[in-house]
Amino acid sequence: MISEDISYVRPGTAEEAMQAWAEYTGRPTGDPQADNAQSGGAQGVHYLGGGTELVTGARKSGLGGKPLRVLIDLKHIGATRRMENSGTTIFLGSTLSLNEIGDSGIFPLLTATIRNIADRTTRNRLSLGGNIAGSLPYREAVLPLLLADAKVHTIKPFHADGRDLSVRSEHPLRGIFDKRLTLQTGELILGFSFPADRVALPWRHYRATRTGPVDYPLVTACFVAGSGCVAGSEGVNESEGALGGAGIAVAFSGLFPYPVWYASLDEANTTLAVPGLVRSDQRASAEYRLALTRDMVRRAQEELS
Amino acid sequence: MTAYTGITNLMLSVNGEDRLVAVRPGDTLLRVLREKLGLTGTKCGCENGDCGACTVLVDGVPVKSCMTLATENEGHAITTIEGLNTNPVQAAFADKNGFQCGFCTPGMILNAAALLTAHPHPDPETTREWMESNLCRCTGYEAIQDAIREAVVLLAPPVLGHK
């Protein structure tokens, strides 16, 4: 059990979640500077998705040394539970469990990636938003979404004219993912959307662990081949969008202390050649991780060309 | 919007019965089942989501009860090992000695029962994927696999013969 006396809040709509956030943290203004100045009020207030990381972390040692005060459970908000393929766009809600998404087969590369995260029973609770926005550095579910040029649908609270209000936004994932999602205080992920044709592009997924299949990755690599797999994002510059028909885009987790993606293998190889960037710890040396990665790249090139 | 602070009376549906329990919002489902409802068949192992000894079914889906709050499970059907009365999976585990010390067995049986509900004839890969959620420190995996294979047979509908 969690030793602190916490409050548990279960909103039925995204707007109610914003209202709860405002109630428990103070009134956000929408002005990042002002909100950061009062972000002390937000400490200890967390959105709850699957709870696999949050409940365990709060029970064991607190969350980053800060006591937990309030959990706002998002699982009853309809938008966060939505999984839809309209034919042109796929939408995946943030509190869908990894198994709900993986078993649906809606995005084969995401299914392959998800089936290697934690164990199956844990994946019945582990949510898509939680995996991507949690504190563990691997965030493997974000890799296929980066390659699919997904958009992040969010809602954030602000206070104006004496009223609690909220505003919905769409951000290009590539634009706001810099080692981790860079969201404003109180901003809540409703889900992710991406063009439906991205799921038909040829792909490969490889994963290496130190022990068995249920382990954190030494390296996870997702590859997508074909034109159009990187073009069109607001967060991508011209050269990144110029991937040719035979190009292969790649995203890694575990290789560095944060997930990354590259529009081409050339770009990835350039970074891999920089000394000191690759993670080296008691689980694997940087040299070993690099050897695994180069083998994955070679296999992907062979299989996708 | 529902909000709980302090000690709260919570109605949980456990093994087909409505049970009223006084909980703190920070109480995990595992602790409430064991300490408030006396359902000690659900075992407390690592309490970190690794071992699977605390597995229960929530709406028929295996969940590690150490990683979920009791309040989250209000309105959902919770099944513990006590509620899996006379399930053929239990008989198969007994018949094949699919246990040694027995500590992991409730979680194993509940996960296996859910597996065979979702996949009445699971291939080895599916069985492995589901059952690797549960650890057996006695390493009695061989007999557990045998038990699941036998449970598949026990759960299969009888084949009607021709005269």
Q: Class of the B8-83 domain? A: alpha beta
B98: pLDDT strictly greater than 80: yes
CB B49 to CB A56 under 8 A?
yes
Q: What is the mean pLDDT of chain A?
A: 88
Residues 6+ apart with CB under 8 A from A52: A118, A122, A125, A126, A130, B49, B64, B67
**B15 alpha-carbon distance from chain centroid:** 11
Confidence band for B35, pLDDT divided at 50, 70 and 90: very high
A159: pLDDT strictly greater than 70: yes
Q: Are residues A12 and A82 in the same domain?
A: yes
What span, in angstroms and rounded, lies between the C-alpha atoms of A119 and A116?
7
Q: Are residues A192 and A211 in the same domain?
A: no
* β strands within A51-162, DSSP E: 70-73, 83-85, 89-93, 151-160
Give me the mean pLDDT over the A46-68 stretch: 84
Look at the alpha carbons of A299, A254, A113, A80 in this order and tell me if their dihedral is positive or negative: negative
Chain A residues close to B65, C-beta within 8 Å:
none
Q: Are residues A209 and A152 in the same domain?
A: no
A38: pLDDT strictly greater than 60: no
Among B25, B31, B67, the residue with its CB nearest the CB of A125 is B67
Single-letter code of the amino acid located at B115: L
Chain A residues close to B3, C-beta within 8 Å:
7-10, 20
Chain A residues close to B134, C-beta within 8 Å:
121
Cβ A236 vs Cβ A215: under 8 Å: no
| Residue A13 domain-assigned (yes or no) | yes
Q: Tell me the nearest-neighbour CA distance from A51 into chain B, angstroms.
A: 6
Measured in degrees and rounded to the nearest 5, phi and psi for residue A271 equal -70, -40
| Residue A2 domain-assigned (yes or no) | no
What span, in angstroms and rounded, lies between the C-alpha atoms of B74 and A301?
50
Q: What is the pLDDT of residue A235?
A: 43
Q: Give B53 or A32, the one with higher predicted confidence.
A: B53
Q: Are residues A179 and A234 in the same domain?
A: no
What span, in angstroms and rounded, lies between the C-alpha atoms of B76 and B109?
20
A132: pLDDT strictly greater than 60: yes
Confidence band for A19, pLDDT divided at 50, 70 and 90: very high
Q: Among A206, A293, A201, A207, which residue's Cα sits nearest to residue A246?
A: A201
Domain CATH for A136: 3.30.465.10
Q: What is the pLDDT of residue A161?
A: 78
| Residue A1 domain-assigned (yes or no) | no
Q: What is the pLDDT of residue A165?
A: 84
Give me the mean pLDDT over the A11-24 stretch: 93
Q: What is the pLDDT of residue B154?
A: 93
Express each pLDDT in A103-122 by its tens digit: 999 999 999 999 999 999 99
Q: Are residues A220 and A89 in the same domain?
A: no
Q: Are residues A264 and A130 in the same domain?
A: no
Q: Are residues A139 and A211 in the same domain?
A: no
Among A75, A121, A212, the residue with its CB nearest the CB of B111 is A121
What does the DSSP assignment read for A139-185? -TTHHHHHHTT-EEEEEEEEEETTEEEEEEEEEEHHHHEESEE---T
Record the pTM: 0.91
Q: Are residues A286 and A168 in the same domain?
A: no
CB B25 to CB A7 under 8 A?
yes
Q: Are residues A106 and A215 in the same domain?
A: no
Give me the mean pLDDT over the B6-22 stretch: 97
**Residue A291: C-alpha distances to residues A284, A288, B131 (Å):** 11, 5, 31
Count the neighbouring beta carbons within 10 Å of the beta carbon of residue B84: 18
Express each pLDDT in A176-224 by its tens digit: 999 999 999 899 999 999 999 999 999 999 999 998 888 999 999 999 9
Q: Helix H segments across B29-121?
A: 29-31, 88-95, 105-118
Q: What is the pLDDT of residue A239?
A: 36
Q: What is the pLDDT of residue B153?
A: 94
A63: pLDDT strictly greater than 80: no
Cβ A69 vs Cβ A4: under 8 Å: yes
Fold of the CATH domain B88-155 = DNA polymerase; domain 1 (1.10.150)
Q: What is the pLDDT of residue A241?
A: 35
Residue span(s) of chain B under CATH 1.10.150.120 come to 88-155
Give me the mean pLDDT over the B90-104 stretch: 95
Q: Give A88 or A212, the one with higher predicted confidence.
A: A88
Q: Among B59, B163, B68, B160, which residue's Cα sits nearest to residue B117?
A: B59
What does the DSSP assignment read for B112-155? HHHHHHH-SS--HHHHHHHHTTS--TT--HHHHHHHHHHHHHHH
Q: Are residues A179 and A229 in the same domain?
A: no
Q: What is the pLDDT of residue A286?
A: 95
Q: What is the pLDDT of residue A27?
A: 64
Residue span(s) of chain B under CATH 3.10.20.30 come to 8-83
Chain B residues close to A73, C-beta within 8 Å:
71-72
| Residue A217 domain-assigned (yes or no) | yes
Q: Does A9 touch chain B (CB under 8 A)?
A: yes
A55: pLDDT strictly greater than 70: yes
Tokens of A158: 């602000």
A41: pLDDT strictly greater than 70: no
Q: Tell me the nearest-neighbour CA distance from B50 into chain A, angstroms.
A: 8
Cβ A17 vs Cβ A76: under 8 Å: no
A84: pLDDT strictly greater than 70: yes
Candidates B28, B30, B69, partner chain A, best to mutate (most A CBs within 10 A): B69
| Residue A208 domain-assigned (yes or no) | yes
Q: Which residue of A has its CA nearest to B4?
A: A8
Q: Residue holding tokens 């390493």?
A: B139
Which residue segment(s) compose the domain that A11 sits in? 7-196
Q: What is the DSSP letter of B34?
A: I
Express each pLDDT in A139-149 by its tens digit: 999 999 999 99
Candidates A2, A3, A5, A8, partner chain B, best to mutate (most B CBs within 10 A): A8
| Per-residue exposure over A49-87, b if at least 16 CB sit within 10 Å of its own CB, e if not | bbbbbbbbbbbeeebeeeebbbbbbbbbbebbbbeeeee
Percent of chain B with pLDDT over 70: 98
CB B1 to CB A9 under 8 A?
yes
Cβ A296 vs Cβ A278: under 8 Å: no
Cβ B19 vs Cβ B9: under 8 Å: no
Q: Are residues A16 and A135 in the same domain?
A: yes
Express each pLDDT in A227-267 by its tens digit: 544 444 444 433 333 333 348 999 999 999 999 999 999 99
CB B64 to CB A73 under 8 A?
no
Q: Does A78 touch chain B (CB under 8 A)?
A: no
Q: What is the pLDDT of residue A236?
A: 41
Q: Tell me the nearest-neighbour CA distance from A227 into chain B, angstroms.
A: 34
Measured in degrees and rounded to the nearest 5, phi and psi for residue A224 equal -130, 130
**Residue A259: C-alpha distances to residues A134, A136, A234 (Å):** 13, 11, 20
Residues 6+ apart with CB under 8 A from A65: none
Q: Does A61 touch chain B (CB under 8 A)?
A: no
Measured in degrees and rounded to the nearest 5, phi and psi for residue B136 equal -120, 110
Q: Are residues A237 and A179 in the same domain?
A: no
| Residue A52 domain-assigned (yes or no) | yes
